[in-house]
Amino acid sequence: MLLILSAVCVTLLNTATLVATENETIPDCDYFDTVNVTGSQRLVNGSYLYQGVVIPAELTAEFDYRVLPDDSTEPVERHLRGCVCQLRPCLRLCCHHSQLMANGQCSGSVEVDLTRLNPYLSVTLDDGTVARRHFQEEFIIQSDLPIPCNDMYPLNDQEEQDQYIVFENGSFFRPYDSATMSKREYCLQAYDFREGETESFRIVAHNCSIKSNSKTGKTVVIILTLVCLACTITVYLKLKKLRNLHGKCFVCCLSCLFMGYLFLLMDLWELTNAICKPSGYIGYYFVMANFLWLSVISWNLHSTFSCSVSRVNRYRPKYVFLVYNVYAWGMASVLTAVIYMVDHLVEDIPENEPWMPGVGFYNCWIKTQDWSAMLYFFGPMLIVIIFNVTMFILTAIRIVAVKRELQSIVDRQERKQKLNSDKQTYSFFLRLFVIMGLNWSLEILSYLVQDDDIWKNVFLVADYLNWSTGIIIFFLFVMKRSVLRLFRERNDDEVSEEEISLEETQRL
Ligand SMILES: *[C@@H]1O[C@H](CO)[C@@H](O)[C@H](O)[C@H]1NC(C)=O
Ligand SMILES: *[C@@H]1O[C@H](CO)[C@@H](O)[C@H](O)[C@H]1NC(C)=O
Ligand SMILES: *[C@@H]1O[C@H](CO)[C@@H](O)[C@H](O)[C@H]1NC(C)=O
Ligand SMILES: *[C@@H]1O[C@H](CO)[C@@H](O)[C@H](O)[C@H]1NC(C)=O
Ligand SMILES: CC(=O)N[C@H]1CO[C@H](CO)[C@@H](O)[C@@H]1O
């Protein structure tokens, strides 16, 4: 009888404690100091035995949520957690220890050969001494905590700028920017560094990308560029005199530039996170299309000059513009399809990463950290820039030759006029190419020196120049006397038309 009573009593007490622990958190214990102790052995006095550590009952609680690094919570299935890190040093891994980080994320079910892994890592103790510790034997491993961000970078502590210190209590210090971080903001994981022949498979810290604080400046400049581009496009669409083949190509080129900058801006403000990858591909498409339109313009310019002397009444079939459209939009689609396929068909493992386009890996844009950007992004650009320069030199040679020809034949007044207007066109586009070519050449250079701190700052100027392309274009191509005059004439025309209609209505 007594036995039954006591059994009932225990059951009741248990239910009572269960009710009491609902929604409970462990007092004075950070969520990031806990581990999931579900299924570990429960001792008679209520403590839990987890990996050789006795966790008193008051340091455990049932959780039906998990805490994210920004302190918000997310519901998960109910499980028991214990505040183990107050009892033993913990190691905060990003993923399960048999996984690797690929593209900043845990690499699913890739089996890692842990026998090659160097299991020791340096930990700074409270008294300042550095100790080598075995990650499995001397630490409690925490591997189910949420990852701080979805673009974790491995820090190669053998490189000077990537030094860091992990403290025994789990704090992390980064001398690069004197940042101290808690377990919310960094994590450790095995990483396979390969530099030539030497291979080093060890546990290193991963940090989130350092958000550049020049966001406001960049935003303002890009918004101004967008406004200026929109104005330029409007002016060139409105003015009939500018709506020739050159003008149309120019408008297409600027529209692509506009879209490219729009996506860059949205990426900057993380507005495209929901459609991260699609927006990356669309942005790439427009930047490439912009370049292809540039090559169309320089080709068109070259062919204009080649025909202008041999045939005075130039024969310009209507479908030329159509052909240009098919070429520019089509080629851009092909390039985009290529990077899409490489991204999706190639297996997502660290070895493949350096030559994958990596749209959406680190941000919602094509990856520009690796040399793969040279292959998919800067390479095609470079080809177009070289093509343009060639076309411009050929055209310039042509102009000089024609000029000489005209000097010997005097009475070709009409032809001379034609040449003059063509020369204007030439100087017009020369300006466009100097801006865009120079801009992007600087951008390519800045990509090539991105690992060098001093040069990186120098090329920040180039970045600003690049973002302000639209503003420069506006001032060079719209705020010109000739264009402004055309605009005034057009307005005058409209006024006079209005006056006529007014007169007409009065007459009626
Ligand atoms: C307690 O738990 C309930 C249900 O699980 C949940 O709706 C509520 O938000 C929790 N309260 C707190 C303070 O966490
Ligand atoms: C906690 O651990 C148990 C047993 O290992 C597992 O079944 C459960 O899914 C884990 N819960 C969470 C939220 O990780
Ligand atoms: C519970 O029991 C274990 C082993 O029997 C012991 O090490 C631990 O100190 C006890 N805890 C409490 C709170 O009594
Ligand atoms: C961990 O230890 C380091 C060095 O002793 C100290 O600077 C840091 O504040 C400690 N962090 C916590 C969370 O106690
Ligand atoms: C010390 C340091 O800054 N390490 C890395 C943190 O993440 C960024 C990504 O933006 C890397 O470039 C750093 O090398």
Q: What is the mean pLDDT of each run of 10 residues along the chain (508 residues)?
A: 51 46 73 93 92 92 89 90 93 89 75 82 91 92 88 85 90 88 92 79 86 76 95 90 85 94 86 83 93 91 70 60 94 95 82 81 79 88 89 85 72 67 77 80 80 76 87 88 80 54 40
On whether both 185 and 302 belong to a single domain, the answer is no
Residues facing 62 on adjacent strands: 80
Contacts 24+ apart (CB under 8 A), 304-307: 304/246, 304/422, 304/425, 305/395, 305/398, 305/399, 305/402, 305/422, 305/426, 306/398
Sign of CA dihedral 201, 202, 204, 206: positive
Is 146 inside a domain boundary? yes
Does the CB atom of residue 45 touch ligand 3 within 6 A? yes
Domain of 82, in residue numbers: 18-86
Residue 120 and residue 131 in contact, taking contact as beta carbons nearer than 8 Å: no
**501 is a domain residue:** no
Asked if 242 and 149 sit in the same domain, the reply is no
pLDDT at res. 21:
42
Which of 188, 170, 189 is closest to 180 using CA atoms? Answer: 170
**The amino acid at 508:** L
Which CATH number fits the domain that encloses residue 41?
2.30.160.11
Say how many Å lie between the first and final Cα of the chain, rounded. Answer: 115
Of the candidates 161, 223, 151, which has an alpha carbon nearest to the alpha carbon of residue 456? 161
Q: Which two tokens stand for residue 290?
A: 């912009």
**Within a 10 A sphere around the Cβ of 505, how many other Cβ atoms?**
8
Residue 156 shares a structural domain with residue 280: no
Letter for the amino acid at 136?
Q
Residues 96 and 154 in one domain: yes
Return the best residue to mutate from 54, 58, 60, 83 for the ligand 3 pocket (most ligand atoms within 8 A of CB): 54
Q: What is the dihedral of CA 18, 24, 29, 32, to 10 degrees?
A: 100
Instruction: Tell me, yes or no, whether 165 lies in a domain.
Output: yes
- Give the position, in ligand 3's atom list, of the atom nearest the Cα of 57: 13
139 lies in the same domain as 159: yes
- Check which CATH number belongs to the domain holding 412 and give it: 1.20.1070.10
Write the CATH number for 153.
Answer: 2.170.180.11
Is 301 within 8 Å of 396 (Cβ atoms)? Answer: no
Considering the domain architecture, whether residues 265 and 400 belong to the same structural domain is answered as yes
Q: Is 133 helix (H, G, I), strand (E, B) or coil?
A: strand
157 and 76 belong to one structural domain: no
Q: Is the CB–ligand 3 distance for residue 89 below 6 Å?
A: no
Reading the block at residue 314, the tokens are 């130039």
Which of the ligands is closest to the CA of residue 47? 3
Final residue before a domain boundary, out of 68, 86, 104: 86
Letter for the amino acid at 380? Answer: P
Q: Which of 189, 208, 227 is the last residue of a domain?
A: 208
Q: How far apart are CA 292 and CA 332, in angstroms?
A: 7
Residues 246 and 138 occupy one common structural domain: no
Co-location of 111 and 68 in the same domain: no
Residue 343: inside a domain, yes or no? yes
Q: Are residues 167 and 309 in the same domain?
A: no
The alpha carbon of 72 and the centre of ligand 1 are apart by a number of angstroms equal to: 13
Check residue 128 and give left, alpha or beta (phi > 0: left; psi -120 to 50: alpha).
left
Give me the amino acid identity at 439. N
CB of 183 within 8 A of CB of 166? Answer: no
340-346: long-range contacts (C-beta < 8 A, 24 or more apart)?
340/281, 342/376
Query: Which residues, judged by CB distance below 6 Å to any ligand atom, belong to the binding site of ligand 2?
Result: 36, 38-39, 76-77, 79, 144
- Which of 86, 118, 138 corresponds to the end of one domain? 86
> In this structure, are 237 and 164 located in the same domain?
no
Cα 492 to chain centroid distance, Å, stands at 47
Residue 436 is encoded by which pair of tokens?
A: 């865009």
Residues 202 and 60 in one domain: no
Q: Is 506 in the pocket of ligand 3 (CB under 6 A)?
A: no
- Residue 499 pLDDT: 44
